[in-house]
Amino acid sequence: MDLGDVTIEGITPFIGTIFEVPLDNGATTTLKLESALPYEVRQRRQRYQPKRTPFSMYFLGDPALILPQGMYALRSEALTLENIFIVPIGQDAQATEYEAIFT
C-alpha cells in the first residue's frame, strides 16, 4: 500500500495484524499493529488543509529489542507498508511500543 494513500479508516481493519520487519543485520522481528488513533494537529500548524485526517499508528514489538527510529518495511500476508517511519515511544516487560504519525 502506498503510504500516501493510508488513512485511519483504511488501516483500522488491520488492527491486530502482525508484521514481519527485516533488519539491517539480516534478522527479522515482528511488530503488532495495536491501534490507530486520530492525531491532533496543533492550531498554529493548521494553515494547510491535510488531504487526510491526521492519525497515529501504534505497534508493539519484542520487549528485548528497541528498534532505532527510522524507516522500516512492515510486511504481512494482508498488507505491506514500505518505508514507514516509526519511533520507539515506550518499553516495559511485555513490549516495546512504537508510533508512526500520518498527517
Split at pLDDT 50, 70, 90, the class of 1 is confident
Q: Cα separation of 19 and 66, whole Å?
A: 16
Decide if 29 contacts 64 (C-beta within 8 A). no
Q: Which residues contact 35 (CB under 8 A, 6 or more apart)?
A: 15, 57, 58
Q: Give me the pLDDT at residue 53, please.
A: 85
Instruction: Please identify which residue in the block is written with the cell numbers 491526521.
Output: 54
Complete domains list, the chain, with CATH: 3-102 (2.40.10)
pLDDT at residue number 4: 83
Global pTM value: 0.90
At 11 the three-state DSSP class reads helix
